[in-house]
Copies of this chain bind each other. A is one copy, B any other.
Amino acid sequence: MALCTVTILPDDRVLEVESGSLLLQACFSQGVAIDSPCGGRGTCKKCRVIVDGKEDLACKVIVDRDMSVEIPEDSRLQKQQVLLDKPGEGLRALKWELKALNPIAQRITLRLDMPTLDENTNDLDRVRIALRKHFGADSLISLNALQRLPEVMREQNGVITATMVFNGRFWKMIEIVSGEAQRPLCGLAIDIGTTTVAISLVNLETGVELAKRGRYNLQSVFGSDVISRMIYAEEKGDDGLQQLHKASIDTINELIEGLLEATELQRTDIKAAVVAGNTVMTHFFMGVSPKYLRLEPYIPAAIEFPSAQARRLNLGIHPDAFVMTMPNVASYVGGDITAGVLATGLHEIQGDIALFLDIGTNGELVLGNAEWMMTCACSAGPAFEGSGIACGMRAMDGAINAVEIDPDTWEPRLSTIAQQPPAGICGSGLIDVLAKMRAAGVIDRSGLFNRKAETSRLRFLDGEAFYILAYAGEYGNDKEIFLSEDDAKNILRAKGAVFAGIKVMLDNAGLDFSAIDRVIIAGGFGSFINVSDAIEIGLLPDIDEAKFSYVGNRSLHGALELLLDRAKIHSCRDIANGMTYLELSNGNHFMEEFVSAMFIPHTDLSLFPNRYR
């Protein structure tokens, strides 16, 4: 097998690659992740690289010789940062108090009598008897802990501290040290989004969140949405599944590395992990094929996965830690929504009716309160995460997140994250741009561009129309930033799907928009979403803006909540089992509602009484 040398520029990193490999795959397998929303099908053109000075797509280049490959910043996945709350910010809202801590892993210091010739109980039974007093039932013991027991027990004259972990069914002793505990006892919350993975490290004995990290899911190289990743896995067979599983684990392990470095902790300090992800992400994380979830009758391998040992998943925490996944609700409403509901407390709301929206790569909606809950998933598509939009980008430095447009000159005034030169448009920016373009008359209610206007901000080419937000160089930006007519259609499709989902749920409950007392928005917008704009374009219903709140990443917080209170295992099951799932593709009037909602704000203006009376 011949090897070729691929020199990655500008890093000057040298990869040895088997001749005949695809450049995209070869880079990925050696940790150089190139953006490829379409999963290497050659349709998205995002994996642009410069091979020996000539532009090409990484998914098209076969490595058949030594080559140099420049990967422009835009095409790189791992450079992209994810915005997160500051550690503790989200948790503060949860109001953990020490007395209420009931964590999923705990430590018990035992003061054992040392054996004598007359009282010669063996070491294991001595510990078992002491533990039974705490737990009322027999605990399991890991082989590692057992192997250390004889020495540890005698080091400090019978004083030992056992680390016990709970998996919802039984306790297991996974570590044992002599004397009192020396090291922090930590748990890890993991939110696996299709696009973004976020993790949070929490001290289970104090409830203090120590650090958090986010990054883009390395699975993105296999496609930007769950469907294209499932297709990739299916086409490549077991090997494809393994690649997606490994990408998921690698993403998390790299984040863990960062956490450990920042906190100076050891991986073995992390004794438990809770994972919240959508149903497909959870399958890939567990190494289980989600194939049949995509094929009629759309059956997941599992709704509630059994806990797994970290060792078996190669997760970089204590090898004997239990890894629990949040129970899923249905094929396209996953454990991330269960976690989100848990964290927002929607399932405990008395009287009021609440609407929970988690709009990320997909849109999942929950309507209800403590009495009843209903949920659905609408394939909003990743437009709000910047995907499928020519100048779309995620909410990071330089993203345009708001705009003003002069109604006379159509000249825009931009606002960007961290006041950096504009690099693209993020989700909240897209909503704002669309609302402002409509208000100024640049587009009509169906998203069509006004072709009569005369301004250099508008350009028409081969029947396609473009509104230029920033000329190349205008603000120190390299390239032109625009919104095309196609982009506008994509956004309308995405917002239409969400709005239609809300409408269908309300109809099923026999309610209208006025029945909604609270709207809780979570997900990938970042905290920049302008509710007024979102109502203006018909993404959100036209109700009192005071009823809306933005809560950030609630999936991660739901996972943290379970780590800190193991009784929530039952709440999670109740939430997942208690929700009525509406299948929008089947037997509902979603399609009609969707078509009607693909206008600004809607074909039926009476639904927006405050805006269009």
Seen from chain A, the residues whose Cβ lies within 8 Å of a Cβ on chain B are 115-117, 120-125, 140-141, 143, 146-147, 149-151, 154, 286-289, 291-292, 296-306, 308, 312-313, 586
The answer to whether A117 touches B301 (Cβ under 8 A) is no
Give complex CA distance A544, B154 in Å. 51
**Chain B residue contacts of A115, Cβ below 8 A:** 297, 299
Q: Give A296 to B300 CA distance when docked, in angstroms.
A: 58
Which B residues are CB-close (under 8 A) to A149? 288, 301
Tell whether, in the assembled complex, residue A120 and residue B306 are in contact, meaning their CB atoms are under 8 Å apart: no
Q: A587 — nearest CB in chain B belongs to which residue? A: B117
Which residues of chain B have C-beta atoms less than 8 A from A143's C-beta? 286-287, 306, 308, 312-313
Q: Which residues of the partner chain B approach A116 to less than 8 Å between Cβ atoms?
A: 297
Sample of 20 more A-B contacts, CB < 8 Å, known A115-B299, A146-B305: A120-B298, A120-B299, A121-B299, A122-B299, A122-B300, A122-B303, A124-B302, A124-B303, A124-B306, A125-B302, A125-B303, A143-B306, A146-B288, A147-B289, A149-B288, A150-B288, A150-B289, A151-B289, A151-B291, A154-B292
Q: A302-B125, A303-B124, A306-B141 are in contact. Are A150 and B297 (CB under 8 A)?
A: no
Supposing A151-B289, A154-B292 touch, asked if A301 and B120 sit within 8 A by C-beta, the answer is no
Give CA–CA (A116, B292) in the complex, Å.
Answer: 12
A306 with B117: CB separation less than 8 A: no
CA gap between A308 and B140 in the complex, in Å:
11
Closest-by-CB residue of B relative to A151 is B289
Q: In chain B, what residue has the closest Cβ to A298?
A: B120
| Cα of A125 to Cα of B576 in the assembled complex, Å | 14
4 interchain residue pairs of minimum CB distance: A124-B302, A117-B297, A150-B301, A115-B299
> In the complex the two chains form, is B122's CB within 8 Å of A301's CB?
yes
Tell me which residues across on chain B come within 8 A of A296, comparing CB atoms: 117
Chain copies in the assembled complex: 2
Q: Which residues of B contact A297 (CB under 8 A)?
A: 115-117, 120
Q: How far is the CB of A153 from chain B (nearest CB, A)?
A: 9
User: Could you say which of B147, B151, B287 contacts A147, with CB atoms under 8 Å apart?
Assistant: B287
Sample (21) of A-B pairs whose CB atoms are under 8 Å apart: A117-B296, A117-B586, A120-B297, A120-B298, A120-B299, A122-B300, A122-B301, A122-B302, A123-B299, A123-B301, A123-B302, A124-B301, A124-B306, A125-B303, A141-B306, A143-B286, A147-B289, A149-B288, A149-B301, A150-B289, A150-B292
CB distance from A260 to the nearest CB of B (A): 25
Residue of B nearest to A292 (CB): B150
Q: Write out the residue numbers on chain B whose beta carbons fall within 8 Å of the beta carbon of A123.
A: 292, 299-302
A287 to B150, CA, bound (A): 12
Residues of B within 8 A of A300 (CB): 122-123
| A115-B297, A292-B154 known; A302+B120 contact, CB < 8 A | no
Residues of B within 8 A of A124 (CB): 301-306
CA distance A306 to B586 in the complex (A): 51
Chain B residues whose C-beta falls within 8 Å of the C-beta of A150 in the assembled complex = 288-289, 291-292, 301
* A306 CA / B298 CA spacing, docked (Å): 41
**CA distance in complex: A315, B288 (Å):** 26
Q: Provide the bound-state CA to CA distance between A124 and B279, in Å.
A: 14
A330 to B, closest residue via Cβ: B120
- Pick from A150, A297, A313 the residue with the most CB of B within 10 Å: A150
Hey, which chain B residues are within 8 Å of A301, CB to CB?
Answer: 122-124, 146, 149-150
Bound together, the chains give a CA A291 to CA B288 distance in angstroms of 44
